[in-house]
Structure 1
């Protein structure tokens, strides 16, 4: 079918202090954002999930949080150790599934973010 959505082109969100938020993401997650944010090159076999949730879910964080970003990572254990050393606490223990491992933390602006290490390294 022509004229359809083929994937997520970007994630945009409001924050209290743009420069502080960019600095937090660079320091703790390695995302180097310039004036227009950051871009990620996707491998041919990478996928991006798109999933609506019921309004009453607590999966995304606090009730007023309307979205959550899932970041694909290459070594979840190492990242979580580094975050813990920076006093950034995990919301709950790492969860392991057949399709990968997940962890959740809160960013500088109080947004819950999800970290995902795929089980199949070819989709990193």
Structure 2
């Protein structure tokens, strides 16, 4: 059965993407073709994981910017889209870019979720 396999990324709007990427590279040591990229295969901890946490109200995220999109990795996007439709989830769009397949849905709070099946190594 198709399933989500991990966090693919977090996407948000900034004034100057090149400057923000430079900051991540210079200050945090994170670099990548499309932005800071983390390779979980380099994690040495026992059972490493990523977390998506939901807050009703919290100062924990202040003064952060609330506009973002969550990208989740999927092992078989075609089958997962079929599964979503069977669960009455509206799939906003589906594209095959060759290097990867993508589909988009909204969660109950209107947060955009991008589903991604990686086809090629970066």
Please tell me whether Structure 1 or Structure 2 has the larger radius of gyration of its CA atoms: 2
Which structure dedicates a bigger proportion of its chain to strand?
A: 2
TM-score normalised over the length of structure 1: 0.47
TM-score normalised over the length of structure 2: 0.48
Q: Which has the higher contact order (CA 8 A, sep 6+)?
A: 2
